[in-house]
Amino acid sequence: MYPDRVVSGMRPTGSMHLGHYHGALKNWITMQAEQPCLFFVADWHALTTHYDDPSIIEKATWDMLVDWLAAGIDPTQATLFIQSRVPEHAELHLLLSMATPLGWLERVPTYKDQIENLANRDLATYGFLGYPLLQAADVLIYRASEVPVGEDQVPHIEMMREIARRFNHLYGKEPGFEQKAQEAVKKLGSKRAKLYNELRTAYQQDGDDDALDQARAMLEEAGSLSMIDRERLFGYLEGSRKLILVEPEAKLTAASRLPGLDGRKMSKSYGNAIALREPKESVTTKIRKMPTDPARVRRTDAGEPARCPVWQFHQVYSDAPTQEWVQKGCRSAGIGCIECKQPVIDAIVAEQEPMHERAQPYLDDPSLVRAIVADGNETARKLAQETMRDVREAMGLSYT
Ligand code: SF4
């Protein structure tokens, strides 16, 4: 089996805001310490919707990478790279496109939503229809076991799984596979071979998923097997096919709890965002100007936190005693709104201080970011090339 890799990408949208931080980056930071992670800038994806104005992509890419590093993505733990610097993604996309039914792409729910949401753009393009397939290539090329996604992206992962399954079914045939697999079983040693056969039967005849898990775990531990025999036995467990592409699982991430300054979703286009590296003075001004409970016209009017976006910020940033102070003070008009906002300002400024510090060396010397990404591109490319070797071979394109 392959290591439990996580793959995740973001479109280069330029400077990131605190909504991105609390929605995605914090998860990335947690994951990078737990398992191998590959994080990429999805510059080709940006072109699927912004093909008519590519001028912003390059700057947006570098700005976003600085933000990732500022937020705490650690290049000694995770691999950071740019999608278009690993052209194997495009090759896999092309090869997968040969066998992907059009209907699979058209039924992805976000396809129709996006067409409606971005009505000002002409998205009746081949590239836009194919972007979930490009996403599939982005993940399958690293044989990732997990993809962190929000609820709305789960259908994309489902489609990736179908694509991987279809690929393995169509191309996972190996001449003499059955015989080679049985020889590999013998290499397990008699006790393990017996158990393997029992578990395989339990899975194939009775659909026993536990048996499948148990057999996989046993193969992981079997030191006597070569990599290729292990792969054969993984494939043999589920049928008579070799596993070339791995079906990834969706790793559900909690949606960001941090709304924009006006209570709607935080977005640069709504003008309600706080940038990840927003200067301190600007944070203070923005929070001071934040709308509050509309019923609290005068300082002496009692308010209701549930109707106030500042309260949502307190829920993210304040500890229990401060939250109680807000609840009581607001409802009794014991505190004023300016007073209420101060702990939020202080907490955001404290959160951002290390981000500013971490960003500074990269701003002073942009070649540092270039070097990190060059390393990441190379690491990612090596992994992608390994998969592509198997893919080409399986599709009869290795020309050896
Ligand atoms: S006191 Fe705080 S929670 Fe209440 S309306 Fe003012 S800012 Fe909002």
Q: How far is the CA of 328 from the centre of ligand 1 (A)?
A: 10
Nearest-angstrom CA–CA distance, 68 and 112: 30
Considering the domain architecture, whether residues 42 and 134 belong to the same structural domain is answered as yes
In a domain, 262, yes or no: no
Considering the domain architecture, whether residues 181 and 69 belong to the same structural domain is answered as no
In a domain, 350, yes or no: yes
Q: Whose CA is nearest to atom 4 of ligand 1?
A: 330
Q: Which has more pLDDT, 225 or 105?
A: 105
Determine whether 334 is exposed, middle or buried from the number of CB atoms within 10 Å of its CB (0-12, 13-18, 19+): exposed
In a domain, 244, yes or no: no
Mean pLDDT over 12-31 rounds to 91
Instruction: Write down the residue that tokens 């090869």 correspond to.
Output: 95
Q: What is the DSSP track for 222-254? A: -TTS-HHHHHHHHHHHHSS----SPPPEEEE-P
In a domain, 90, yes or no: yes
From the CB of 90, is ligand 1 less than 6 Å away?
no
Q: What is the DSSP track for 73-100? A: --TTTSEEEEGGG-THHHHHHHHHHHH-
- Listed range (61-70, 80-89, 188-197) with the worst mean pLDDT: 188-197
Considering the domain architecture, whether residues 233 and 104 belong to the same structural domain is answered as no
The residue range of the domain holding 130 is 6-172+249-256+366-394
Domains held by the chain: number: 3
From the CB of 318, is ligand 1 less than 6 Å away?
no
What is the per-residue pLDDT for 346?
Answer: 98
Considering the domain architecture, whether residues 103 and 119 belong to the same structural domain is answered as yes
Considering the domain architecture, whether residues 75 and 160 belong to the same structural domain is answered as yes
Nearest-angstrom CA–CA distance, 171 and 94: 15
What global pTM score does this model have? 0.84
Considering the domain architecture, whether residues 145 and 107 belong to the same structural domain is answered as yes
Q: Which has more pLDDT, 198 or 206?
A: 198
Atom number, ligand 1, closest to the C-alpha of residue 296? 5
From the CB of 67, is ligand 1 less than 6 Å away?
no
In a domain, 343, yes or no: yes
User: Which of 296, 298, 328, 339 is the best mutation target for the ligand 1 pocket, counting ligand atoms within 8 Å of the beta carbon and taking the most?
Assistant: 296
Sheet holding 79-82, edge to edge: 79-82, 37-41, 6-10, 146-149, 249-252
Residue 47 above 70 pLDDT? Answer: yes
List pLDDT tens digits, range 375-394: 999 999 999 999 999 999 99
Name, in order, each residue with C-beta under 8 angstroms of 94's C-beta and a sequence gap of 6 or more: none
By three-state DSSP, how is residue 267 classified?
coil
Atom number, ligand 1, closest to the C-alpha of residue 304? 4
The H or E element containing residue 64 is helix 57-71
Residue 240 above 70 pLDDT? Answer: no
Mean pLDDT over 55-83 rounds to 96
Nearest CA to 144 out of 30, 252, 25, 35 is that of 35
In a domain, 152, yes or no: yes
In a domain, 1, yes or no: no
From the CB of 330, is ligand 1 less than 6 Å away?
yes
List pLDDT tens digits, range 312-340: 999 999 999 999 999 999 999 999 999 99
Nearest-angstrom CA–CA distance, 37 and 398: 29
Q: How far is the CA of 15 from the centre of ligand 1 (A)?
A: 29
Considering the domain architecture, whether residues 158 and 226 belong to the same structural domain is answered as no
In a domain, 23, yes or no: yes
Task: Quote the DSSP letter at residue 256.
Answer: P
Nearest-angstrom CA–CA distance, 96 and 115: 23
Considering the domain architecture, whether residues 371 and 358 belong to the same structural domain is answered as no
Considering the domain architecture, whether residues 23 and 99 belong to the same structural domain is answered as yes
Considering the domain architecture, whether residues 83 and 126 belong to the same structural domain is answered as yes
Residue 224 above 70 pLDDT? Answer: yes
